[in-house]
Structure 1
Amino acid sequence: MAQIDQPTTSKVARIAAALGRKHNSDLPSRTLLRDSSLRTRENDFSVVEAEEPTHSNSAGIDQDGTDFSYFVEAHLGSDATPMYMLVDTGASTTWVMGSKCTSKACAVHNTFGPEDSTSLKQTGDSFSVEYGSGSVGGQMVSDSLQIAGMKVTMPFGVANETSDQFTEFPFDGILGLSGGGGDETTFLEALTEAKTVSSNVFGVSLSRSSDGPNDSEISFGAPNPARYTGDISYTSVVSKNSWAIPMDDVIVNGQSAGVKSQLAYIDTGTTYAFGPPDQVKAIYKAIPGSSSADGVTYTIPCDSKASVALTFSGTSYTVSSKDFMSSSGSGNRCPCNIFGMQVVSGWLLGDMFLKNVYTVFDVDKGRIGFASKATAKGSSTTASSPTGTPTPTVTSGNGATTLTTVTATAGSDMGLGGHQTGTMSTATAATAAATTSTVVVSSSNRHVQSRGFSVLAMCILSTIALAL
């Protein structure tokens, strides 16, 4: 891939800038696939199909086999055109690649346009998404969108041009699951308006590809009780337009790392975790044998037994060592997946954390809940210890010590109105590349702004270049 040929520093800088635009702007096994028409795409993407859910209003979440991107199969328009759409709680805007798009990425993905649906209506608005490099742009339309057997009619973007970055990812578009803020109705708002669900709540369970069969799932209307154990611990969001919550502390080997009073954005559309460099440094300082040449990327001994826990509302959660660090290191040095880059006003926590908990996004009550995932595939993930006595050490089924990400507590400034990007020096142990952005929806007589669309953070480890 072209991204692998770029200097490490450029890749890290690009992800910081892109993630900053996404969150700090008020702008808007490779198995057979379920739908046979999805098999006809001229691409080499690997898709690990999710098991069919049994819970009502639920959809399986497919992935790429590397835990980099998680997406659902949606059906659009009168002909129910199938599209893979990234599950993105860090964005409110929904869009897909358009049939008139001639970009390289569109040529290897499913597309959608007026010829695919007799119910499609042009809104007269256009949209554009600006990236660290490249962009996505096109027209806003209104048509039906069906997920998990639930069908709503809503506005979404049909892209006429896309960045080449999208050639690397299996998904054909973005399903925005963050709050609104603009004039355009979001998918979650459409569900409520159509009275499709009794409560505007959804639960997310993300699986780790290396653990076996993919049982990832998203459930709308209510959490799926079969996917978690114990109580759900909730933390209120600081704004209805973003899934950002206060976090209490980071616990390393049973002791506070002193990382407090920050905000955490909970983002299914981001792969890893990013935090202020000084706070990330404090976390790794408490891990014996950790090292960094730049304060951005860190390595630890591959046989480290360190335990890192993330605490919300007095309850601590752990993240498996499979997610906290990469196994691709050499010389007993393994790269870690928490980066010292402040790309939001606080912390950005993605799938490396979310794979370890069952997460509930409650729109009605403005809160996010975490619970211990139900034991599956011979593993166990847990939570729960008061902030005052943090001793969260959990082991997975294979005996590996679980680890977690960082905590924070809300500040008054969410950074949604600014444009904040991280600064960093040369990265050595790992690099990241991302696609994200600022969305602008406009028409001849108005300029509508809504939250940014999607991000996928892809890490390329020091000794092995990984590409999607």
Structure 2
Amino acid sequence: MAPLTSLLLATLLSSASANTVQWGISRNSEVQAQQLARRSLEIQRRGLGLEARADTVAVTLLNAVQAGLYAANISVGTPPQSLQVQIDTGSSDLWIPSSTLSVCEDTRDGGCQGGTFDSSKSSTFDDVERNGFNISYVDGTGVSGDYFQDTLTVGGSTVKQLEMGLATEGTIGVGIMGIGYNTTEANVDTGNGTEYANLPQALQNAGLINANAYSLWLDDLQASTGSVLFGGIDTKKFTGDLISVQIYPTIEGGQNIFASFSVAFTSLSATSSSGTDQLTPAGYATAAILDSGTTITLLPDDIAQQVFQELGAEVSQELGATVVPCALADKNGTLNYGFGGVGGPVISVAVSQLVLPLSLPNGQVPTYSNGDQACSLGIQAAGNLPVLFGDTFLRSAYVVYDLDNNRIALAQTDFNATDSNIVAFESGGAAIPSATSAPNEAAVTQTASGIPKIGVTATATGNGGAATFNPTATGLSAAGGFTGTSTSTSSSKKGAGAAGAQPFQWSAVVVGGITLLGMGLGGEIFAVL
């Protein structure tokens, strides 16, 4: 199977300031398609350059292309064993693959090249709950094993007796660093245990950071550097105002639980050289989750179809993707997302940041019948899944996650910024540094569960049929089917756009009514759209 979006891996190459932990990002494009199928990572090893200071912890990330996963280098145990783990704000457990995990033996797909952990070689290993760890993800993958405690070093800072999961069985070959709310830890979700201090909380408990908070700067699609910073913000990594909005709890079993980073998504417009189209009506508000463990963005079905019409995108059930000409990446224009109501943060995402590589099972790039190459759009309709803002949105936003105060602050990211000015949180409960609160916060209700998820992607199958995991809404036609685009007066129905609205000029790259042609396995030619 061929990967759809970028695979992002990490290395510790950090700069730090008082009471923060930071990761940075770089890009590597050589990843094999089969590795995505089994959630294994092709890892390019990098050297370590660490500097730790009080009040913050900073770590640099390595970014590799093809599957949309951000990860970091860590070391576990005594003496330390090096591993790479994916950073995921949509789950809460830090778990690592055991050296006995069977998927690591499958060298055809690279095995567990992010490293494995041999508990017998660590003098500080403590197995605290045998067979107590069991986690599954929306894409059908999962692992199980033990909860254990051991020494963890990340970003030049060390936490002793950190509780983690050790995967001894399962289908994922790279560990996950879940940094969400403790309420979604696997033992809590399964009803088999109670909350424990996961990594952000443990960093605070150890006095390495002042607050259970961190900021995320992923930089642009082609970036070589970026960061996640525990315990502080970097004022040189964003432009304009940093504005905070409320995180809303999830209603589960009649109770309000902070289980995911749900905020009020309140507006969307599209801007190009031809003007601006408003895609949501006045007073619009719906719950949306900010999740770095999701590679794409999932919008409400009716809003997604308006976006598809604006960009000239077509939904392909055969490829399991929303397809656009690759030439769309050369067009100017933005999608502008608003949060928290009037006066809240607005993040503009350039259309060039939404065009992602698309491959067939044999590695070939699908083409339109006129010879133009086809790419994937990093937006899909949510269907029955929660509305999610994944990496195709987060790259354009500087995001501060304040778990102590249940607030998220957003600002426009400063792509390829080279300067740094790290400001630590003063204490747990203190306001987000340099941030103001949205003045007219819209209330929303979140009923979606906090089920962990990683790498929500779509990839073509061996015979050109359904995608391995396709979050596209059921019943959408291949052409999208939306008849209007701008000045929408209602977002509750498909096709609610005003008559006469015209797509933006960037959609002129689409050759109307053509058929995508591609080569399937064994040389079979099939029509895609």
TM-score (norm 1): 0.67
**Shift, 1:288, TM fit:** 5.8
Tell me if the contact between 1:67 and 1:209 (Cα under 8 Å) persists in the aligned partners.
Answer: no
Cα distance, 1:246–1:463 mapped onto 2, change above 3 Å: farther
Paired amino acid for 1:255: D
Which residue of 2 is the match for residue 336 of structure 1? 377
Cα distance, 1:464–1:339 mapped onto 2, change above 3 Å: farther
Determine the C-alpha separation between the residues in 1 that align with 2:269 and 2:176: 34
The DSSP-based 3-state class of the residue aligned with 1:241 is: strand
**After the TM superposition, which residues 109-258 of structure 1 pair with which residues of structure 2 at under 5 Å, given as runs?**
109=113, 110-125=115-130, 126-131=132-137, 132-152=139-159, 153-163=161-171, 166-167=172-173, 172-181=174-183, 182=188, 183=194, 184-208=196-220, 210-211=222-223, 214-239=224-249, 240-253=258-271, 254-258=276-280
Cα distance, 1:119–1:85 mapped onto 2, change above 3 Å: same
Higher RCO structure (Cα 8 Å, ≥6 apart): 1
Asked if residue 292 in structure 1 is aligned to residue 315 in structure 2, the reply is yes
Determine the C-alpha separation between the residues in 2 that align with 1:65 and 1:146: 26
Which residue of 1 is the match for residue 389 of structure 2? 349
**Shift, 1:294, TM fit:** 5.6
Paired amino acid for 1:248: T
Q: Over residues 169-212 of structure 1, what are the superposed CA-to-partner deviations in whole Å (9 max), with x where a residue is unaligned?
A: xxx3111110011323211221222222112221111134634x
**Deviates further, 221-230 or 294-303:** 294-303
Residue in structure 2 matching 1:416, options 441, 449, 453: 449
Paired amino acid for 1:356: S
Cα distance, 1:49–1:224 mapped onto 2, change above 3 Å: farther
Asked if residue 81 in structure 1 is aligned to residue 86 in structure 2, the reply is no
Which runs of no fewer than 5 residues in structure 1 stay unpaired? 9-28, 32-42, 379-386, 388-407, 436-460
Cα distance, 1:111–1:277 mapped onto 2, change above 3 Å: same
Determine the C-alpha separation between the residues in 2 that align with 1:112 and 1:353: 33
**After the TM superposition, which residues 21-40 of structure 1 pair with which residues of structure 2 at under 5 Å, given as runs?**
30=28
Determine the C-alpha separation between the residues in 1 that align with 2:101 and 2:409: 39
**Shift, 1:219, TM fit:** 1.1
Tell me if the contact between 1:201 and 1:223 (Cα under 8 Å) persists in the aligned partners.
Answer: no
Q: Over residues 76-127 of structure 1, what are the superposed CA-to-partner deviations in whole Å (9 max), with x where a residue is unaligned?
A: 1221211111110000111000123233468433111322311111112421
Determine the C-alpha separation between the residues in 1 that align with 2:379 and 2:405: 30
The DSSP-based 3-state class of the residue aligned with 2:410 is: strand
**Deviates further, 299-308 or 154-163:** 299-308
**After the TM superposition, which residues 271-420 of structure 1 pair with which residues of structure 2 at under 5 Å, given as runs?**
271-285=295-309, 287=310, 289-292=312-315, 297-300=321-324, 302-303=327-328, 304-313=331-340, 314-326=344-356, 330-331=367-368, 332=372, 334-345=375-386, 347-376=387-416, 411-416=444-449
Which residue of 1 is the match for residue 485 of structure 2? none
Determine the C-alpha separation between the residues in 2 that align with 1:343 and 1:81: 41
Cα distance, 1:429–1:179 mapped onto 2, change above 3 Å: same
Tell me if the contact between 2:244 and 2:410 (Cα under 8 Å) persists in the aligned partners.
Answer: yes
Tell me if the contact between 1:263 and 1:409 (Cα under 8 Å) persists in the aligned partners.
Answer: no
Tell me if the contact between 1:362 and 1:368 (Cα under 8 Å) persists in the aligned partners.
Answer: yes
TM-score (norm 2): 0.60
Count of residues in correspondence between the two structures: 365
**Deviates further, 68-77 or 335-344:** 335-344
Work out which of the two has the higher radius of gyration on C-alpha atoms and give 1 or 2: 2
Cα distance, 1:175–1:84 mapped onto 2, change above 3 Å: same
**Shift, 1:462, TM fit:** 8.6
Determine the C-alpha separation between the residues in 2 that align with 1:434 and 1:77: 38
Cα distance, 1:188–1:105 mapped onto 2, change above 3 Å: farther
Which residue of 1 is the match for residue 44 of structure 2? 47
Q: Over residues 232-281 of structure 1, what are the superposed CA-to-partner deviations in whole Å (9 max), with x where a residue is unaligned?
A: 11111002331111111111232221273211111111111113322311
Paired amino acid for 2:400: V
Paired amino acid for 1:85: V
Cα distance, 1:133–1:317 mapped onto 2, change above 3 Å: closer
Determine the C-alpha separation between the residues in 2 that align with 1:274 and 1:80: 39
Q: Over residues 1-34 of structure 1, what are the superposed CA-to-partner deviations in whole Å (9 max), with x where a residue is unaligned?
A: xx459xx9xxxxxxxxxxxxxxxxxxxx659xxx
**Shift, 1:305, TM fit:** 4.2
Determine the C-alpha separation between the residues in 2 that align with 1:462 and 1:361: 44
Paired amino acid for 2:262: A
Determine the C-alpha separation between the residues in 2 that align with 1:144 and 1:124: 17
Paired amino acid for 1:113: D
**Shift, 1:307, TM fit:** 2.8
The DSSP-based 3-state class of the residue aligned with 1:103 is: helix
**Shift, 1:429, TM fit:** 11
The DSSP-based 3-state class of the residue aligned with 1:210 is: coil
Q: Over residues 107-150 of structure 1, what are the superposed CA-to-partner deviations in whole Å (9 max), with x where a residue is unaligned?
A: 43311132231111111242122355453111110112221122
The DSSP-based 3-state class of the residue aligned with 1:323 is: helix
The DSSP-based 3-state class of the residue aligned with 1:283 is: helix
Q: Cα RMSD between the aligned structures?
A: 4.0
Determine the C-alpha separation between the residues in 2 that align with 1:226 and 1:336: 30
The DSSP-based 3-state class of the residue aligned with 2:412 is: strand
Cα distance, 1:52–1:309 mapped onto 2, change above 3 Å: farther
Paired amino acid for 2:270: V
Tell me if the contact between 2:242 and 2:345 (Cα under 8 Å) persists in the aligned partners.
Answer: no
The DSSP-based 3-state class of the residue aligned with 2:233 is: coil
Cα distance, 1:53–1:262 mapped onto 2, change above 3 Å: farther
Which residue of 1 is the match for residue 112 of structure 2? 108
**Shift, 1:73, TM fit:** 0.8
Q: Which runs of 4+ in 1 moved over 6 A?
A: 417-420, 426-430
The DSSP-based 3-state class of the residue aligned with 1:376 is: coil
Determine the C-alpha separation between the residues in 2 that align with 1:417 and 1:201: 19
Q: Over residues 364-397 of structure 1, what are the superposed CA-to-partner deviations in whole Å (9 max), with x where a residue is unaligned?
A: 221111122235279xxxxxxxx9xxxxxxxxxx
Which residue of 2 is the match for residue 395 of structure 1? none
**After the TM superposition, which residues 408-447 of structure 1 pair with which residues of structure 2 at under 5 Å, given as runs?**
411-416=444-449, 431=467, 433=469
